Amino acid sequence: MTISRKEQDNILRWDGKKLGHYEVYYLKFNDMESQTAYWLRYTLTSPLPQISNPYCELWGIFFDAADPKNNFAVKNRFPIDKLSYEKDRFRVGISDAELTINACHGKITDETKGNSLSWDISFDSPGKTYYFFPSERFYTGSFPKTKGLAPHEDARFTGTVVANGREIKFSDAPGQQTHLWGVKHALRWAWGHCNCFKDSPGTLWEGLDSQVMLGPIKSPHFKLFYLKHDGKEYFFNSLPQWFSGKSKWELAKWTFDIQNKEIRMVGDISGGYEDFVAVTYTDPDGELLWCNNSKVSTLKLSLYDPDGGRIAELVSDKGCAAEYVDRRTYPEVPVRI
C-alpha cells in the first residue's frame, strides 16, 4: 500500500516494547465565530521500568475567549492495551477515540469535576509537512531528545465539539496537527503557532524558544522559527540560527526579533493569566513539568525587508496559540490536571 508522506510522518514511532519513550499527537484550532479554541491530545507514555507500566491518555482543553471562566481541561488515562495503531497507514486509537490522517473523534469525561469534552472533526491542509529541524540527522540521532514535525501545519477543521454540554459547530477553523516523540522533554520552552490573522488569512507563523540539559549544563536558548506570508515560506531553523536573533519570554509574555537574508520578523505575544490553563506533564523517567497553555493569546507581527522597509503589520487578536513550559508551577495559573 502506498501512503502519502504526511501519513508516513504521522505513523507511530513506538515499537510496542521500548521503555523510556513518549509520543504525542496534538490538534489545535480556533473558531473565531464562537470565540472558542481547542487543544486535543492523543498520547502514550512508556516509562522507565521503575516508574510505572506503559499507558495512553486522551487530553482536551477548551478555551472561551469571551468568558475565560468557562475554560477547562480534562484527561482520561488508560492501560496501554487500550492503544491501537497501524503501521501500513496512519491510524491511532485510544479506547473509543480515534485519530486518522484527516479525521478524529473522541470523548473525555471527568466525573469528579463535572467536565466533559467530545469531538467529531475532519481536517486537511494543502501544504507539505513542516519539519522543526533542518536535516534528517536530528530525527535519527540522539539529539534532540524530543523530535517534532507537523503534517498539517496550516490546517482547516470542520465538525462539532460538545464542551460541558455546549454544542459548537464550526467550519474551516484554522489550526494545526503535530506529531512529537522522544525520550525526555526539554528543560523549559516557549512555543507558539498562529494561522488566524484576520487581514491576512494566508499568513502562518510558528516559533520555539527552548532550553535543554546538555549533561549537567543548561544549554543556551535554542530558537527555531517559521513564517509563510504572501505564498512564500521563510525558515529560521538552520543550526547557526538556533543561536542568533533575540527572543525573551516569561509567563504570558514573549517578544522576539528574528531575521534571515530575506526578511526580518519582530513579534510580541501577550495574554491575560485568565486565558491560560496549566497542565502537568510527566517525563518517562518520572520527572514533572508544567505547561501553561493558551490558544487565545494575541500576536502582533511586524515584517521588514533586508533594507529595513516595512512589508506588513499583522495582528491576530486572541487567535494565537502560546505555551510556556517550566519545571515549576506559577501561582498566577492554577494547575487543572
Nearest-CA neighbor of 237 among 134, 316, 312?
Answer: 134
335 vs 45: CA distance, rounded Å: 20
Helix spans in the chain (H) = 5-10, 137-140
Are 239 and 321 found together in one domain?
A: yes
Burial class of 261 by CB neighbour count within 10 A (0 to 12, 13 to 18, 19+): exposed
Are 229 and 257 found together in one domain?
A: yes
* Confidence class for position 108, pLDDT limits 50, 70, 90: very high
Nearest-CA neighbor of 291 among 213, 182, 188?
Answer: 188
| For residues 108-129, average pLDDT | 96
Are 16 and 140 found together in one domain?
A: yes
Q: Which of 134-148, 237-251, 282-296 has the highest mean pLDDT?
A: 282-296
pLDDT at 198 over 90: no
pLDDT at 312 over 90: yes
- The whole-chain average pLDDT of the chain stands at 96
What is the tally of structural domains in the chain? Answer: 2
Report helix, strand or coil for 202: coil
- Asked if residues 85 and 12 have their Cβ atoms less than 8 Å apart, the reply is yes
pLDDT at residue number 243: 87
pLDDT at 1 over 90: no
pLDDT at residue number 203: 97
In a domain, 307, yes or no: yes
Are 274 and 297 found together in one domain?
A: yes
Report helix, strand or coil for 235: strand
pLDDT at residue number 135: 86
- CATH code for the domain of 237: 2.40.370
* Confidence class for position 208, pLDDT limits 50, 70, 90: very high
Structure letter (DSSP) for residue 242: G
Of the residues 149, 183, 217, the one at which a domain ends: 183
pLDDT at residue number 2: 84
| For residues 178-201, average pLDDT | 96
Per-residue pLDDT reduced to its tens digit, 243-269: 889 999 999 999 999 999 999 999 999
**pTM as predicted:** 0.95
Per-residue pLDDT reduced to its tens digit, 165-179: 999 999 999 999 999
pLDDT at residue number 200: 92
* Confidence class for position 318, pLDDT limits 50, 70, 90: very high
In a domain, 326, yes or no: yes
| For residues 288-298, average pLDDT | 98
Are 105 and 134 found together in one domain?
A: yes
230 vs 172: CA distance, rounded Å: 20
Are 230 and 289 found together in one domain?
A: yes
Of the residues 130, 158, 183, the one at which a domain ends: 183
Are 190 and 158 found together in one domain?
A: no
pLDDT at 156 over 90: yes
Per-residue pLDDT reduced to its tens digit, 76-103: 999 999 999 999 999 999 999 999 999 9
